[in-house]
Amino acid sequence: FFLFLKSKIRGYCWIHISRRAPVSCRIRTIRLFGGQVTSWKNDHGEELLFVSSKAIKPPKPFRGGIPICFPQFGTQGNLEQHGFARNRLWAIDDNPPPLPVNPAIKAFVDLILKPSEDDLKMWPHSFEFRLRIALGAGGDLSLTSRIRNTNTDGRPFSYTFAFHTYFSVSDISEVRVEGLETMDYLDNMKGKERFTEQGDAIVFESEVDKVYLAAPSKVAIIDHDMRRTFVVTKEGLPDAVVWNPWDKKAKAMQDFGDSEYKHMLCVEPAAVEKPITLKPGEEWKGRLGLSAVPSSYCSGQLDPLKVLHG
């Protein structure tokens, strides 16, 4: 296993973590700008995360991969949409406090974000945000966030959060999401009104922007055409946002191709409905786990329980 800094251009670094394998190697790319994973490939070199061909350069947020929404999800507060963490230059954390040993992890890198003077003017709270990005032996990707309140004035703070994961899919019309059936959700397209999802797996025929509440710890994204299933696991993150802008919104987005909505789906483990509150000295931990497994899905033949419970 090895880890190296690939390049340093105008202060923005890219890190590649690779796992040597007998036939090929899987490469994951992380940008220090935004603390953002922007590439996750399988043994065949196929990209598993979506990145827009029109993604623009810093200081704008980067459209694709896994942006981190902190300390605000969406427009739920006074800060810029999705908070400032995705727009800041993170640093490599050379000496992170230990995390429990996980024998499945074969390579990892630790990043850290602390607020600048300007950040403190906008959001007057001192914090340390540590992010461990790890690869398992089978190519699984995990992101563990640790956020600590380091205020010295005794004040607690509250925040909302999301791992805004952009999955690459062959054709959104052929994708099903399983695990969110019967869940309550807030519909961002209907003034955050609360509804209950029907009993069937979620399919996509138009714009979707929903926050599923108290979602299960495992969600499956089944890509019929690719015969691939993404299994998303989450810890410490009660909600799951599902977003696809569809055609009209795609056209209105400057950093997104007009037809790219067909090839992406965001499923975002999140803490949105109930903000997380930390007292000084307290730390919160949230984890996202991703794996891509072959699925022999044929319409009507999939047993969702098998996908979700192994």
Question: Which residues fall in the annotated binding site?
Answer: 63, 81, 86
CB 308 within 8 Å of CB 218: yes
How open is the CA angle 26-234-261, to the nearest 5 degrees? 65
Which amino acid is present at 25?
A: C
Catalytically annotated residue among 125, 164, 178, 273: 164
Is 164 catalytic? The answer is yes
Name which position in 110, 119, 209, 273 contacts ligand BG6 (CB under 6 A): 209
Cα distances (angstroms) measured from residue 232 to each of 133, 213, 217, 265, 279? 15, 16, 8, 13, 30
Which amino acid is present at 260?
A: E
Closer to ligand BG6 by CB, 62 or 297: give it. 62
Is 263 catalytic? The answer is no
262 binds ligand BG6 (CB under 6 A): no
Partnered with residue 112 across adjacent β-strands are: 91, 130
* Least CB distance to ligand BG6 at residue 157 (A): 22
82 binds ligand BG6 (CB under 6 A): yes
| DSSP structural state of residue 89 | B
Name which position in 39, 142, 188, 244 contacts ligand BG6 (CB under 6 A): 188
- The window from 74-82, 88-96, 165-173, 199-207 that contacts ligand BG6 (CB under 6 A) reads 74-82
* Least CB distance to ligand BG6 at residue 92 (A): 25
| DSSP structural state of residue 76 | S
Closer to ligand BG6 by CB, 72 or 149: give it. 72
Name 84's Cβ contacts closer than 8 Å, sequence gap at least 6: 70, 71, 119, 122, 123
Which residues define the annotated binding site for substrate?
63, 81, 86
Closer to ligand BG6 by CB, 16 or 249: give it. 249
Return the number of other C-beta atoms located less than 10 Å from residue 42's C-beta.
14
Contact string 213-252 vs ligand BG6 (x = CB under 6 A)? ----------------------------x-x---------
Closer to ligand BG6 by CB, 74 or 136: give it. 74
* Least CB distance to ligand BG6 at residue 296 (A): 31
Query: What CA–CA distance (Å, rounded) separates 168 from 293?
Result: 14
Catalytically annotated residue among 178, 260, 268, 273: 268
How remote is the C-alpha of 74 from its chain's centroid? 14
Q: In what order do the strands lie in the sheet with 91-92?
A: 91-92, 105-113, 127-136, 141-149, 283-294, 228-235, 218-223, 175-178, 202-203
Name which position in 81, 116, 173, 259 contacts ligand BG6 (CB under 6 A): 81
Scanning residues 26 to 65, which ones bind ligand BG6 (CB under 6 A)? 61
Task: Report the interface residues with ligand BG6, using CB under 6 A.
Answer: 61, 74, 81-82, 164, 188, 209, 241, 243, 268
Supply the residues annotated as catalytic: 164, 268
